[in-house]
Amino acid sequence: MKAEIRRQFIHFLFGSTIIALLVTQGTMTTLRILMTLTLTGIALAFAIKKGIRIPGANLVVERVERENEKHAPGKAAIMFLTGAIGTIVIFQRPEIILGAMIVAVYGDAASTIIGTRFGRHKIAGKKTLEGTIGGIAASLVFLSFLYPLPTAAAAATIGMLAELLPIDDNFTIPAAAGTILHFMLP
C-alpha cells in the first residue's frame, strides 16, 4: 500500500505541474514541453530496458513502478504524458483541457488513495465504490472553482466513471471529462 501511495503522490505532483504549466504557459508551450518529456521518457525507458544504469531514472523505476509494469520501465509516466498530450490536441480549448486534466490528476489520485485505504465494495476489477466516490468528490472540489456546479458535477462524475472502463485511465478520464465539458460549456 505504501508503494501505491508514493506512486499517487508522484502522479499528483507531476499532474499539478502540468496543470500549472497550462495555466501559466498556455497550451502550446505545455504541449511542446510534454512532447519533449515523452520523447525523453521513451529514450530513457529503452536505455533502462537495455540494462543501462541512469542515475535517478533507475531509482524511480525501482521504487515507483508497479511490479507488473517493471518489464516496461516508465510506461505509467509515458501513458500519463500521452493522455495529457491527447487531451490538449483533441479539445484545444484551454478551459476544457484544464477541467479534463483536473479530473485526470486529482480525481484519479484521490480514487486510488481512498479506494486503497477505505474501499470495501468492489465495482470493477480492483476499483471500489468508495474510491470512485472519493475521486468524484476531489474532482468536484477543484472543478467547482472553474465551472457552475452542475457542469463541475457532470465532468467529475462522468470522468471518474470512465476510470472503470477496461482501457488505460490516462486516456478515459480526461476524454470523458473533456467531452462533457465540450458539450456543457458555451
Long-range contacts for 9-15 (Cβ within 8 Å, ≥24 apart)? 9/109, 10/64, 11/80, 11/105, 11/108, 11/109, 12/105, 12/106, 12/109, 14/77, 14/80, 15/80, 15/101, 15/104, 15/105, 15/106, 15/109
Spatial distance between the Cα atoms of 161 and 157, rounded to a whole number of angstroms: 6
Give the pLDDT confidence score for residue 45 in this predicted structure: 86
Residue 19: phi and psi, rounded to 5, are: -65, -40
pTM of the model: 0.91
Range of the domain at 72: 2-184
> Each residue of 40-84: pLDDT tens digit?
999 988 888 888 888 877 666 666 666 666 667 788 889 999 999
What pLDDT was estimated at residue 185?
A: 97
Task: Name the band, by pLDDT with cuts 50, 70 and 90, for residue 144.
Answer: very high
Mean pLDDT computed over every residue of the chain: 92
Take residue 120 and report the three cell numbers written for it. 470495501
Cα end-to-end distance, the chain, whole Å: 42
Residue 95 has pLDDT above 70, yes or no: yes
Q: What's the domain count of the chain?
A: 1
Instruction: Tell me the three cell numbers of residue 123.
Output: 465495482
Above 90 in pLDDT, residue 88? yes
Strands (E), the chain: 122-124, 127-128
- The pLDDT value given to residue 54: 83
102 has a pLDDT exceeding 90:
yes
Q: Which pLDDT belongs to residue 96?
A: 98
Confidence of residue 31 (pLDDT cuts 50, 70, 90): very high
Which three-class secondary structure state does DSSP give residue 78? helix
